[in-house]
Amino acid sequence: MNLIFDVHLDLSLNALEWNRDITLPVEEIRALEKGMTDMKGRAANTVSLDAMRRGGVGLCVATQIAGTMKPKGPVACWESPAQAWGMTQGQRHYYEALCDLGEMARIGNLAQLDAHLELWSDPEAAAAAKAPVGYVLSLEGADSIVSLDYLDTAWAYGLRAIGPSHYGEGRYAMGHDRVGGLRPGGAELIRRMDELGIILDVTHLSDDCFFEALDIYGGTVWASHSNCRALVDDPRQFSDEQIRLLIERGAVLGAVFDAWMMVPGWIRRKTTPEEAGVTIAHIGDHIDHICQIAGNASHVGIGSDLDGGFGREQSPLDLDTISDLQTLEGILSVRGYSAEDIAGIFHGNFLRLLREAWS
């Protein structure tokens, strides 16, 4: 079993906004939610720490998420930056409580990373021992950064990556579903991120903001959860031009398992996985498209976004829990990817970027 480094999971959002105890098995969470209809994905969740361990997902990027987007975003949206900051701090403390319980381990520097990788050198043994799942802390949407001084505070408590926008019109940047460049203060935010060494996550940026941000920022870049516009024509995805630019910058793109971003023609809240016939193999198409542009397998990884506001009703047919990400190994192997390529896609490529950012 390969170690998987999943670079986008909204674990604290699930716990604090949707009241899911992710220390329970997936099946128990589903049983607790049976009959609930307040949101998509109830009783159809796919992620828990138990399922992550069983699937060798020993390391992840775990998000803080709370915006002030206008118009109001689909999840985690508040009326003021102070409220949003307060929510992100609750999320941070939730992760820290899980660390106190031995369920998770915060990874914020090379020494912690190396120690955790040693712990998970044998993923099956680590899972059997209930080893803690490591997490790198990221912020999805920067609206909660009340002022630039708050960036220094966030760096000090362990924030290591930021995506400046989410959906809609953010305080610092426009989301992918909007047209326009960086908002007032956006360039200053990105410059300060660069000075601190906070990784720039370009997922969710509008096209104009994407190009502006890369012109300003000189440090380590990744796209935590983004697929290919050439395969699913939507501004949420990246064009081949953007993918080429990211490759030139040495970046890595995390393949996202949200079904509407995997196959064309999906209508959210209407199309079903059965109707679309979407399977994990479709993510192989997106991975392969990036690899063909790059000429190698060094610029793609996994950013599943599972349980990121959806559940099995918007996931591949053959994915019951996050542990099924392991089936991607066989899919890629049949396509001709070597064991070294697959190890890079499963964990090595994003680990390379972490080492670059933290060295």
Q: What is the pLDDT of residues 184-195, one digit of tens each?
A: 999 999 999 999
Q: Is the pLDDT reported for residue 74 higher than 90? A: no
Looking at residue 280, its pLDDT comes to 98
Cα(255)–Cα(290) distance, rounded to whole angstroms? 10
pLDDT band at 221 (very low <50, low <70, confident <90, very high): very high
DSSP-derived secondary structure letter, 109: S
pLDDT band at 71 (very low <50, low <70, confident <90, very high): confident
Cα(304)–Cα(301) distance, rounded to whole angstroms? 9
**Mean pLDDT, the chain, whole residue set:** 97
Q: Report residue 229 as tokens.
A: 């516009």
Q: Is the pLDDT reported for residue 268 higher than 80? A: yes
Q: What is the pLDDT of residues 2-37, one digit of tens each?
A: 999 999 999 999 999 999 999 999 999 999 999 999
* DSSP per residue, 285-334: HHHHHHHHHHTSSSSEEE---TTSS--GGGS-TT-SSGGGGGGHHHHHHH
Arithmetic mean of pLDDT, 226-252: 98
With a pLDDT cut of 70, the percent of the chain lying above it is 100
Looking at residue 70, its pLDDT comes to 83
- As to burial, measured by CB atoms within 10 angstroms (0-12 exposed, 13-18 middle, 19+ buried), residue 16 is middle
Q: Report residue 172 as tokens.
A: 């610092």
Containing 222, the helix (H) or strand (E) segment is strand 221-222
Cα(218)–Cα(193) distance, rounded to whole angstroms? 10
Token pair 């007032």 is found at: 184
Q: Is the pLDDT reported for residue 73 higher than 90? A: no
Q: Is the pLDDT reported for residue 75 higher than 90? A: no
Arithmetic mean of pLDDT, 52-64: 98
* DSSP per residue, 146-205: -STHHHHHHHHHTEEEEES--SSB-SSSBBTTS---PPTTHHHHHHHHHHHTPEEE-TTB
Q: Is the pLDDT reported for residue 242 higher than 90? A: yes
Structural domains in the chain, CATH included, are 5-358 (3.20.20.140)
Looking at residue 131, its pLDDT comes to 98
Q: What is the pLDDT of residues 77-136, one digit of tens each?
A: 999 999 999 999 999 999 999 999 999 999 999 999 999 999 999 999 999 999 999 999
pLDDT band at 183 (very low <50, low <70, confident <90, very high): very high
